[in-house]
A and B are shown apart, each in its own frame.
Chain A
């Protein structure tokens, strides 16, 4: 199994809703990432989990709340989002931050297309 899966593929939510995005990988990777991507732009890093611990939070608003319940699963909880949060949310994983000596390849999922009304 060499893929990262994300659910749902599409999500429409109101500004008062609470929803969650899910990301899963079964490659044994120990680093997982959330990115936000606007149309025609490169991905922007939001969060990094290394060995199930949050290692990077790129000054993301608190209405986005990540969670890493285990080494295969990464969630992004959404609450009280704004219309400008509409974007493609990408999850990625990479093998092992320690063993790789700090440099390795990130593998991306297909993304969740989020629309906030």
Chain B
């Protein structure tokens, strides 16, 4: 069965430190992969997506993610975290236009 796991429920980093959020998926075919961010009480904002091509994807707000087929991973990274990055982050796999499987989410806290 298709699934998305985000091993870290909660991560705390200091402002200015680097960040990596992990995402692993289980899917037989080439996946369409997304990272969304959700600030408290807000909707989901698309950070970046991978459909095909270059496995290193650049997104908004200085985020990037790398697709590694051999590891079934799509980890999100940012070289220097800002306090405004504190939010919930969801990795997702798109199976069809109307079927998106979301991971459980990783909550990011940023220490000033």
Contact = CB atoms under 8 A, between A and B. Distances in A.
Interface in A26-85: 31, 33, 40-43, 45, 48, 50, 55-56
Contact of A40 (B32, B96, B98, B105): B105
Interface in B2-46: 32, 34, 36, 41-46
B52 to A, nearest CB: 10
A45 B34 CA distance: 16
Interface residues of A, number: 30
- B interface secondary structure, majority: strand
Contact of B100 (A50, A97, A106): A106
A110 B40 CA distance: 10
Interface of A: 4, 6, 31, 33, 40-43, 45, 48, 50, 55-56, 88, 90, 92, 94, 97, 100, 102-111, 113
22 contacts: A4-B43, A31-B97, A40-B88, A41-B105, A42-B90, A42-B105, A43-B102, A48-B98, A50-B98, A55-B98, A88-B41, A94-B97, A97-B98, A100-B97, A103-B51, A103-B95, A103-B96, A103-B97, A105-B49, A108-B36, A108-B45, A110-B42
